Amino acid sequence: MKDFQLLDWRSASGLPYDIFLKNQEELAGRRLRGEIPDTVVLANHPPTITLGVGRLREQLAAIRPLPRIYLSLSDETVLWDMSREYLQKHFGIALIRTKRGGKVWYHDTGVLHWYVIAETSPHFPAQTVHRLEETFYRALVALGLPVRRIPERHERGAHSYLGVWSGEKKLAAIGVRVTAQGGRWVSQFGVALNVSPDQKGLRLIDPCGITGKDATSIAEIARPDRMPTEESIVYALTDAFSEVFEATWAKDQEKKVAGYA
């Protein structure tokens, strides 16, 4: 069994994504140095679209309202700057590149993020992804939600289909990064679950860059009389995570780490 601590960085306005990235790097550094145990961070963010480590132009093409003429620009620095300015000006949405796997995703305060900063093996980063997918699938099934996984998701070129779906719409996306120091390997990032985000925001993207697909949310798929609270979702996730990762939770759960509020 592995001991985990659970930190809660959620707030009414959400943690700005650029600040989260800095805080996550500091947590990962502390984990690499053995200063803290394996950690799960709960977070939400103001309206933001994030990209993964893939090709910039390809990921920007998955942002639906972005003027297509931008994609013909040869200078990627200019393309990036114009895309960020357009989304901020017209939609009030930040655009941020990250070092995680996966592609484009929409975030806001109605999206529950489950970030895992934990020691792992350099040989099994994919195992972390598959375990996270299993965790969220089990938790959402336990809540009685109509969810599924795409059978072809493990085939070559189909990794964007990893995650949890409801019908033909994507409900939860996974993106992970592994960093190393002194012979230790630590995971970062994790899963974004659409609980009750702005539906207009979800419609701005091809989720994970999949053309012709939409994202959905628990608020959209749950029966009105059986909409789970976010806390009940968190409880279901902690139970499923304990089973899948063979994890135990610290008895004293800090709400925030000093300096990360």
DSSP SS3 for 57: helix
- The residue from 41, 143, 208, 210 that is catalytic is 208
**Residues 112/66, Cβ–Cβ less than 8 Å:** no
Tokens of 241: 């995570």
Tokens of 207: 């989720």
The runs of H, that is alpha helices, within the chain are 17-32, 56-60, 76-91, 125-142, 199-202, 218-221, 230-245
**Residues 38/117, Cβ–Cβ less than 8 Å:** yes
Distance between CA 223 and CA 215 in Å, rounded?
A: 18
Please choose, from the candidates 180, 178, 176, 177, the residue with its C-alpha nearest in 3D space to the C-alpha of residue 32: 180
- Please report, in range form, the residues annotated as the binding site for substrate: 100-107, 173-175, 190-192
**Residues 108/11, Cβ–Cβ less than 8 Å:** no
Please choose, from the candidates 179, 183, 102, 172, the residue with its C-alpha nearest in 3D space to the C-alpha of residue 138: 172
Classify strands 2-8 and 111-117 as parallel, antiparallel or unpaired. unpaired
235 part of the active site = no
DSSP SS3 for 117: strand
Distance between CA 142 and CA 134 in Å, rounded?
A: 12
Residues 44, 151, 204, 202: what is their CA dihedral angle, to the nearest 10 degrees? -40
Active site residues: 208
